[in-house]
Amino acid sequence: MTDTLFAPLDPALAARLQSTDAAIRRVALFELADEENEDNLPLLIAALTDTAAVVRAEAARLLAGWETPDVVDVLLGALLDTDEDTRHAAAQSLSELKTGAAADTLMAWAGHSDPFALAAVLRTLRELRLPQAAGPALLALTHAEAQVRREAVGVLGWLKSTSALPQLGQLAREDEDAEVRRAASGALGFAQGDEVLADLLAALTDPIWQVREEAAGTLGKLRLKSALHALIGALEDDFWQVRLRAARALGRVGEPAAIHPLQAALTHPAGNLRKEAAIALGEIGDLVAAPALALAAADPDPEVRKAARLALVRLHGATP
């Protein structure tokens, strides 16, 4: 860094920023950022070229929140740093952008050949919900790296890209990476009708429970009555997380045919499932469930008791 850059600073702080000790330079960056002076921004940017990785990583973290194209540009460059911590810090800072002021700068990287950089850019574009990101994200769905496909799924899901539904459905069913399948199952939540039913039913039988959990949640969000029997079956899943999502989804679907299995779930050993079953029965709103809910209102678990009593209130004004 040149002496000119340090001219406006307190001499002691300027000296610490130029110390031969990387630890001192790193701490001095905190002091610099704490001043919240935009005139200090060039010093933070310059620190991204420091010889010490620990200083570069800290600079990348401290640049979070700056929306100017020049800051975005240097953070994008830091995605290619030789130091892993610096790359991840730059990616995190970019993901915290709140406006599309640097949209053109970001879009220039939306097809980058480096998988980490591309994934980080897609994650940033997802948060900004830029419509022009749909094209690069669609192309990235077939990328060899799973992390890129995951972030591309996120972009298209947030943008509710109907043109991507066939590809998202295929990923939910078939991708080799479980996290991609999970993300794709969640991204299908903006679909209409039964157009993604087959994809979600396949995901509901996935060997990985996180995928099954996400699929159950999406089926509930879509309120797909045609998924009723599959969701009832998921109440018997080996993992409580899936059982809970299935119970919650059955409440949203709202079909009386789910009442009997949900009443049976009111006696399940797991208190969290009993609670969700009570909530779901309240959402379905059929008085036929009132006797079972009245029994659940005396459950030993206070959360179950509360859920059962509230469900009874929902049943057309019934009281516990």
Whole-prediction pTM value? 0.87
CA dist 56 and 271 (Å) reads: 49
**Cβ neighbour number for residue 53 with a 10 Å cutoff:** 15
Q: What angle do CA 130, 134, 138 make, to 5 degrees?
A: 155
What are the structural domains, with CATH classification, of the chain? Answer: 254-320 (1.25.10.10)
Reported as a pLDDT band with limits 50, 70 and 90, residue 317 is confident
DSSP state of 189: G
Q: Is the dihedral of CA 246, 247, 251, 252 positive or negative?
A: negative
Phi, psi dihedral angles at 266 (to 5 degrees): -65, -15
Look at residue 5 in the predicted model and tell me its pLDDT.
Answer: 63
pLDDT digits (tens, 9 = 90+) for 164-222: 999 999 999 999 999 999 999 999 999 988 999 999 999 999 999 999 999 999 999 99
Look at residue 1 in the predicted model and tell me its pLDDT.
Answer: 52
CA dist 242 and 231 (Å) reads: 10
Q: In the chain, at which residue ranges do the beta strands (DSSP E only) sit?
A: none
